């Protein structure tokens, strides 16, 4: 099969969706002629025109608010928020309004919109342009959250997100944009709430999120050859809904759980995943839960400090080795 | 009395420092960098018109504001390199400078977010510290599309706070033109809706900047109410490192005719020899700062535990 990058996969999914359905339109800051700060929407203005590719002012609250409004009359807005750290500026519209509309209206209204954003940890962008903040959005019933780690998943999840009736937060990893993988031409979906075992193993389960998926696969490779430890790498792909069954089944098999994610440890996605396993499989655990995440401090700016700050394959490997004395 | 040659030297320092820091970015020694090239007269001129005890808060093109407020080159460079000797112990970088000793209060990376905080500082200065100081807030023309800018100016006007609003209008937001974000001809005309005085001046002419900022600061101090000065300017660089410009070379060359350094060199009737000497002086200072920064210890802030 042909290989394309994660970025190209998202661009292709958007283009195909816009070709398929007139109701899909894009909005965001410099997403038109410039193609977006990361070039994800490159070429789409030229192809679909300014009615369907809207360059907005720097108005995160209004971008999401307007997306909500447009969705109520049947459009399918795909809005881009340049950095995940800017989400708080649109949080009110997304969490307090969009997510709850279905419930409030007794099922009459639905804010069927997609909010694409990305996180840049690893690009030396400092503490207001690097944050991976997915756990904030787990307390917003009505909102779904996708965190694709491969080009295949990115396109398939975006296709599935377009079919969702309510709002979806689609979080891209900027460090993954250039990564390549097999992606089918044409339409397919990766369903929400379905994790994928990216590598099978019997000794330990690593639930890895976004950028930490390829890191975990590298760790698994290294531990298999150096220590004979067989790591199973599970990628939830969406964290809301979370595929508890695949995670719990894996832990029942391996008896050990590590969560690897770029978000901060305290109150992060790893806490939720750990708690789920305690609820459903505590008797199977042979070792304590380990979370390999970012420390509970803001991201430092300078590249050498940032490298020290971030989780990576090596840190994950060391954490796993400790569980196999 | 303002020493005009010293102000020119500050602008030159900003220009050269950014060029050197860009190299460090490319080498992977320093992180992200927003450039001020072409806009130097604004921060340098405004800060010269303020009293040293006046406060500033600012937005993302920070190197100029820091130099303008009198922060030394050495700890700035160390900051970008992540060193313990940096002005923020090496963890902030260019993105998040803060230096309270010089009353450089904070750098706000999220567009528009500096304005409400500036209003709060002004409230504290006026009603709590009971001081005659004022607060100057720098923001871009596209920041006027963000809610926090409006909310901040609105509060400052309603409560009559000593806030000098400096809009650096370079006619672009990242890589889009003003037709995408500004519904009026000027930013200054929006001041009418807040009930505050405003004017528009050429922000590439240091003498005009100093004059306009001085008068506006005087007004703010005397009447204790906000004043907006819109400074028309030119961004002559990329928006930031790693983000190539959407504008053509010709377009930028045209704008470069308004280069504030050229204007000032002409106005001060500087000879080539004088200029060369200054360039050398500034570049020596910068190279020494880089050498010192490179050998300084990496930041350990915050201490673990
Ligand atoms: C809230 C927010 N949204 C988006 C960005 C990304 N961004 C950084 S600078 C910039 C353009 C800002 O334009 P303007 O305020 O006019 O200042 P200029 O960059 O022209 O100096 C954008 C969109 C940001 N930093 N903060």
Find all residues with CB under 8 Å of A245, minimum gap 6, and list them: none
What is residue B108's three-state secondary structure? coil
Same topology, domains A3-182 and A196-322? Answer is: yes
CA distance B120 to chain A (A): 19
Count the alpha carbons within 13 Å of B282 in the hemisphere toward its beta carbon: 23
Q: What does the pLDDT average to over A41-46?
A: 98
| pLDDT, tens only, B21-44 | 999 999 999 988 999 999 999 999
CB B195 within 8 A of CB B167: no
What distance in Å separates the CA atoms of residue A16 and residue B303, rounded to the nearest whole number?
50
Rounded Cα gap, residues A91 and B165, in angstroms: 27
Indicate if the pLDDT at residue A299 is higher than 70.
Answer: yes
Helix (H) and strand (E) counts in chain B? 11, 8
Mean pLDDT of A52-58: 97
Q: Is the Cβ pair A125, B31 closer than 8 Å?
A: yes
* pLDDT attached to residue B258: 98
Q: Is B33 on the interface with A (CB under 8 A)?
A: no
Local confidence band at B304 (pLDDT 50, 70, 90 cut-offs): low
B298 φ/ψ sector (left φ>0, alpha ψ -120 to 50, else beta):
beta
pLDDT of residue B305: 54
Beta carbons of B110 and A128 less than 8 Å apart: yes
In a domain, B100, yes or no: yes
Nearest to A260 by CA among A310, A303, A307, A305: A310
State both tokens at A150: 């491969």
Contact predicate A76/A25, CB 8 Å: yes
Q: Once rounded to an integer, what is the mean pLDDT over residues A227-233?
A: 98
What value of ipTM does the predicted structure carry?
0.93
The answer to the question of residue B243 being in a domain is yes
CATH number at residue B128: 3.40.50.970
Instruction: Check if A129 is active-site.
Output: yes
**Nearest-CB residue to A58 (from B28, B31, B111):** B111
- By C-alpha distance, the chain B residue nearest A125 is B32
Looking at 3.40.190.10, 3.40.50.970, 2.40.50.100, 3.40.50.450, the CATH number of the domain A3-182 comes to 3.40.50.970
Tens digits of residue pLDDT in A130-155 = 999 999 999 999 999 999 999 999 99
Phi, psi for B289 (deg, rounded to 5): -65, -40
The arithmetic mean of pLDDT across residues B57-77, rounded, is 97
Q: How far is A296 from chain B (nearest CA, A)?
A: 11
- CATH code for the domain defined by A196-322: 3.40.50.920
> How many independent structural domains does chain B possess?
1
Contact B96, B88 (CB under 8 A): yes
> Is A275 touching B (CB cutoff 8 A)?
no
% chain A with pLDDT above 90 = 100
Omega before residue B302 within 30° of 0, cis: yes
Domain boundaries along the sequence of chain A: 3-182, 196-322
Q: Tell me the Cα Rg of chain B.
A: 19
Residue A2's pLDDT is 97
Query: From CA A307, how far away is CA A315, in angstroms rounded?
Result: 11
Nearest-neighbour CA in chain B from A304: distance (Å): 7
pLDDT of residue B117: 97
Domain that holds residue B161: 4-290
Ligand 1 mutation target, pool B38, B60, B176, B234, most atoms within 8 A of CB = B60
Whole-number Å distance between alpha carbons of B131 and B124: 9
Distance B172 CA to ligand 1 centre (A): 9
Phi, psi of B149 (to 5 degrees): -60, -50
Going through chain A in order, the beta strands assigned E by DSSP cover 3-5, 24-28, 53-55, 76-81, 114-119, 144-146, 168-173, 180-182, 196-199, 204-208, 231-235, 238-240, 257-264, 290-294
């Amino acid at each position: 099969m042909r290989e394309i990058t994660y970025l190209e996969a998202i661009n292709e999914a958007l283009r195909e969706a816009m070709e398929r359905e007139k109701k899909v339109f894009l909005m965001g800051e410099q997403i038109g002629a410039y193609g977006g700060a990361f070039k994800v929407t490159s070429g789409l203005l030229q192809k679909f025109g300014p009615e369907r590719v809207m360059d907005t002012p720097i108005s995160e609250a209004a971008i999401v608010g307007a997306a909500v409004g447009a969705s109520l009359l049947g459009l399918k807005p795909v809005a881009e928020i340049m950095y995940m750290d800017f989400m708080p500026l649109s949080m009110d519209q997304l969490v307090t309004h969009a997510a709850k509309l279905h419930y409030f209206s007794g099922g009459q209204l639905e804010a069927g919109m997609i909010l694409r954003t990305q996180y840049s940890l690893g690009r030396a962008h400092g503490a207001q342009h690097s944050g991976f903040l997915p756990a904030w959005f787990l307390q917003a019933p009505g909102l779904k959250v996708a965190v694709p780690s491969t080009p295949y998943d990115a396109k398939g999840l975006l296709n599935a997100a377009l079919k969702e009736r309510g709002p979806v937060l689609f979080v891209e990893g900027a460090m993954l944009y250039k990564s390549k993988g097999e992606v089918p031409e044409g339409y397919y979906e990766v369903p929400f709430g379905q994790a994928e075992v990216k590598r099978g193993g019997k000794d330990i389960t690593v639930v890895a999120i976004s950028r930490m998926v390829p890191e975990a696969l590298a760790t698994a490779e290294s531990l298999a050859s150096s220590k004979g430890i067989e790591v199973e790498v599970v990628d939830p792909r969406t964290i809301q809904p979370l595929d508890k069954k695949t995670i719990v089944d894996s832990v029942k098999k391996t008896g050990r759980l590590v969560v690897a994610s770029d978000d901060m440890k305290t109150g992060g996605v790893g806490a939720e995943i750990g708690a789920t396993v305690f609820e459903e499989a505590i008797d199977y655990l042979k070792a304590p839960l380990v979370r390999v995440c970012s420390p509970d401090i803001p991201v430092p700016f300078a590249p050498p400090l940032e490298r020290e700050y971030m989780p990576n394959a090596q840190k994950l490997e060391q954490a796993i080795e400790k569980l196999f004395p | 009395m303002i020493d005009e040659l010293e102000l020119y030297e500050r602008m030159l320092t900003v220009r050269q420092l950014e060029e050197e820091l860009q190299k460090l970015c490319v080498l992977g020694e320093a992180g992200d960098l927003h450039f001020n090239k072409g806009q130097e007269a604004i921060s340098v001129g405004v800060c010269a018109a303020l009293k040293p005890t006046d406060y500033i808060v600012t937005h993302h093109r920070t190197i100029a504001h820091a130099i303008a407020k009198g922060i030394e080159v050495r700890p700035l460079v160390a900051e970008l390199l992540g060193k313990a000797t940096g002005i923020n112990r090496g963890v902030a970088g260019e993105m998040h400078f803060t230096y309270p000793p010089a009353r450089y209060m904070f750098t706000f990376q999220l567009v528009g977010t500096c304005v409400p905080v500036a209003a709060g500082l002004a409230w504290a200065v006026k009603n709590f510290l009971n001081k005659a100081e004022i607060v100057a807030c720098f923001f871009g023309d596209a920041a006027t599309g963000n809610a926090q800018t409006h909310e901040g100016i609105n509060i400052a006007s309603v409560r009559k706070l000593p806030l000098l609003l400096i809009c650096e209008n370079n006619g672009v937001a990242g890589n889009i033109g003003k037709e995408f974000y500004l519904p009026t001809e000027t930013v200054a005309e929006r001041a009418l809706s807040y009930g505050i005085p405003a004017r528009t001046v050429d922000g590439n002419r240091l003498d005009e900047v100093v004059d306009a900022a001085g008068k506006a600061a005087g007004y703010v101090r005397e009447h204790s109410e906000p004043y907006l000065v819109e400074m028309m300017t030119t961004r002559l660089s990329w928006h930031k490192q790693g983000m190539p410009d959407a504008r053509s070379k010709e377009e930028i060359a045209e704008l470069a005719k308004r280069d504030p350094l050229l204007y000032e060199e002409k106005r001060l009737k500087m000879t080539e020899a004088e200029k060369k000497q200054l360039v050398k002086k500034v570049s020596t200072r910068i190279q020494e700062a880089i050498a010192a920064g490179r050998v300084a210890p990496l930041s350990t802030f915050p201490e673990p535990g």
